[in-house]
Amino acid sequence: IETYKTMAMLGFARTRDMSARLAAVGGELSALVQGLGDLARQPEDDLTALLALSGRLEALDAETSFRFGATQAYETIVHQRIEVLREARFDGRQTFAEFMKRRFDPAMRTVQSTERRLKALGKRAERAGNLLRTMVDVERSAQNQQVLESMDKRADLQLRLQETVEGLSVVAISYYAVSLTAYLTYPLTGYLGISKGVLTAALVVPVILLVWLMVRRIKHHVSK
């Protein structure tokens, strides 16, 4: 029994160091969770800090999981060995089972409490991580929405600019087209009995219409 008790108490020795480390991690985690509502803080920074805390908790769990599991197994063996003794009280004296209950069981409960505390901190860190990831996703969605709105505005501005350039192009091309067509048709003024000015004026509307249709057709062909 003494051998198994000694092996079980190895887990209790680890709880002394664990208590201070868990207290430090728990304090940092509580401070981080309490500051989640602070708009001046960036969720990405809090998430990075939380990941560091989660890493420390995982390291603690890896360091102690085997020892705490072994402590539980040895504790069970100790109690089984005590039951096998089938003690009977003699002359009102304290039994070995009562002695172990007062000295050994509190140490084992401390180990169990430390293990539960470690698991609870891990779950708290996990819940805080889920909350922070949600906050980061919401913030990124808002930023993406702003980017899309900005892109829509730029696209609308670009479309208006393109339409303006298109209109100016029609005017410029029409001006040269009217001039060229007028020069080509000036010999007809004598045959038609009209002046050059009247002929030029008559050519303006048809030429502008033809140029506009040509520009629209080119634009439609390019946009395909």
Task: For residue range 10-41, list pLDDT tens digits in order.
Answer: 888 888 888 888 888 888 888 888 877 676 67
Same-domain check for residues 58 and 77: yes
The half-sphere exposure of 204 on its side-chain side, counting CA atoms within 13 A, is: 8
Share of the chain above pLDDT 70, in %: 93
Same-domain check for residues 120 and 214: no
Same-domain check for residues 219 and 116: no
Model pLDDT, residue 205: 83
Same-domain check for residues 13 and 120: yes
More confident residue, 141 or 223: 141
Task: For residue range 173-212, list pLDDT tens digits in order.
Answer: 888 888 888 877 877 777 777 777 887 888 888 888 888 8
Same-domain check for residues 93 and 194: no
Whole-number Å distance between alpha carbons of 202 and 118: 93
Domain end point (choices 152, 173, 190): 152
Inform me whether the pLDDT recorded for 62 exceeds 70.
yes
Tell me the residue range of the domain where 56 lies.
Answer: 2-152
Please state the pTM of the whole predicted model: 0.57
Inform me whether the pLDDT recorded for 223 exceeds 70.
no
Widest CA span in the chain: 150
Same-domain check for residues 141 and 177: no
